[in-house]
Amino acid sequence: EEAAWLDLLHYKDHVFGGVYSQVDDARFFLAESGQHDAEAELIASLRAFFDPQQTRAAQCRFPARLHWLDSRLAFAARLPQVSCSTFQDWRQKLNVQGITLLFPSMYLNNPASMFGHTFLRLDSQGTAPLLNYTLSYAAATDQTDSAVLYVYRGLSGGYPGVFNIQPYYETVRAYGDIEHRDIWEYPLNLSTTEVDQLLRHVWEIRAVSFDYYFIRENCAYRLLSLLDVARPGMKLTQTA
């Protein structure tokens, strides 16, 4: 029931009671009922970490879960020491020291961007901003869809939403140089510990999908959910 665990699994209160996860990809869950049962997913995670046949895959697949559970239960020292080289290489390549929220202003010539867009820039100390990376969330649209179908699917969750990391200079080229949109920057006061946990969670969800809803579960909403993971208790995505 703790907010940090619910945020890690993107659980929200269900209108008929209980919780449900907004992650719409079965690969994200270790328990068969994990999408609707926070306790079952917690137990399945602990079992996977301690199971000799699963522990390496679980530790390397879910570092944010492991970090938070260990902070509450102090058990990681009892687990087999595994090398998650792919995750470590990814983390070292990004070398993130801070996070900046980016907001390219609205672009009326593109219906999908008429209200602007939102990114997170992953800032590395001593690196020129243009050489840093940006993290974005967007709908994986079908370019063959008609305008009517595009609007319908965008409003009804008909497109999968996925995260993407790309160099910041590509973002500037697309939004600033080509579309001539202003890009506003807002440095976030996240601690090193909070930045590290955010990145662990990005690793966990980098390849899973959410249903994309243009009005609510959009780019800004999904990035706010990452900040909820970084600093539990802010409730940035809580429904009023």
Q: pLDDT tens for residues 23-52?
A: 999 999 999 999 999 999 999 999 999 999
CA dist 76 and 71 (Å) reads 9
CA dist 221 and 226 (Å) reads 9
Report the pLDDT value the prediction gives residue 239, as an integer from 0 to 100: 58
Is the pLDDT score of 114 beyond 60?
A: no
Least confident span in 127-131, 175-179, 186-190, 230-234: 175-179
Q: pLDDT tens for residues 128-147?
A: 999 999 999 988 778 788 77
Q: What pTM did the predictor assign? A: 0.89
Report the pLDDT value the prediction gives residue 230, as an integer from 0 to 100: 96
- Dihedral, CA of residue 232, residue 136, residue 126 and residue 88, to nearest 10: 70
With 0-12 CB in 10 A as exposed, 13-18 as middle and 19+ as buried, what is 18? exposed
- What's the token pair of residue 228? 């909820």
Is the pLDDT score of 117 beyond 90?
A: no
pLDDT band at 240 (very low <50, low <70, confident <90, very high): very low
Report the pLDDT value the prediction gives residue 109, as an integer from 0 to 100: 54
